[in-house]
Amino acid sequence: MKISDRFWSASPEELKKGYIEEEAQYICLICGKKIEKGMIYPGEGILYEAGRYIRVHIEEAHGSVFEYLVQLDKRITGLTDHQKSLLQLFYQGKSDGEVQKEMGIGSASTIRNHRFVLKEKERQAKVFLALMELLKDKNKRSPGYLPPHKTAGMIDDRYNITQEEREKVLKTYFPEGTDGLLKTLDMKEKNKLIVLREMTKRFEDEKFYNEKEVNEILKTAHEDFVTLRRYLIEYGFIDRKPDGSRYWLKEGLPEMEEENMDRKKELKQQYKEMKTQGGVFQIRNLKNQKVFVDSIPNLKMKTGKLMLLRSGGYKNRQLQEDWNQFGEDAFVFEVLEVLEEKSDGFFDKADELKKLKTKWIEKLQPFGERGYNQPDKRK
Same domain, 240 and 287: no
Same domain, 76 and 109: yes
Same domain, 343 and 226: no
Q: How far apart are the two ends of the chain, measured CA to CA in Å?
A: 58
pLDDT along the chain (379 residues), means of 10: 65 91 90 86 78 88 85 83 88 87 84 90 90 74 51 52 83 92 89 89 87 94 93 87 87 48 53 67 94 86 74 84 92 91 73 92 94 79
Which of 104, 137, 170 corresponds to the end of one domain? 137
Q: Which amino acid is at 234?
A: E
Looking at the domain assignment, is residue 36 inside a domain?
yes
Looking at the domain assignment, is residue 222 inside a domain?
yes
Domain count, the chain: 3
Same domain, 128 and 163: no
- Look at residue 5 in the predicted model and tell me its pLDDT: 63
Count the Cβ atoms, other than its own, within 10 Å of residue 255. 12
Looking at the domain assignment, is residue 17 inside a domain?
yes
Q: Give 249's strand partners.
A: 238
Same domain, 95 and 199: no
Same domain, 125 and 176: no
Looking at the domain assignment, is residue 256 inside a domain?
no
Close Cβ partners of 345 (under 8 Å, ≥ 6 residues apart): none
Beta strands in the chain (DSSP E): 19-21, 25-28, 34-36, 40-43, 46-49, 238-240, 247-249, 279-285, 291-296, 331-338
Same domain, 316 and 348: yes
pLDDT in tens, 262-321: 555 555 555 455 556 789 999 999 999 999 999 988 777 776 677 778 877 788 889 999
DSSP, residue by residue, 32-47: --EEETT-EEEETTEE
Looking at the domain assignment, is residue 147 inside a domain?
no
Same domain, 227 and 326: no
Give φ, ψ of 296 to 5 degrees.
Answer: -150, 135
Looking at the domain assignment, is residue 377 inside a domain?
no
Residue 351: Cβ-neighbour burial (10 angstroms; 0-12, 13-18, 19+):
exposed
Same domain, 10 and 130: yes
Range of the domain at 91: 5-137
pLDDT in tens, 113-126: 888 999 999 999 99
CATH number of the domain to which 296 belongs = 3.40.1440.10
Same domain, 128 and 56: yes
Same domain, 176 and 131: no
Which of 233, 249, 265 corresponds to the end of one domain? 249
Same domain, 108 and 12: yes
Determine the Cα–Cα distance for residues 92 and 63; give it in Å rounded to an integer. Answer: 13
Looking at the domain assignment, is residue 151 inside a domain?
no
DSSP, residue by residue, 239-301: EE-TTSS-EEETTTS-S--THHHHHHHHHHHHHHHPPP--EEEEEEETTT--EEEEEES-GGG
- Look at residue 290 in the predicted model and tell me its pLDDT: 95
Looking at the domain assignment, is residue 331 inside a domain?
yes
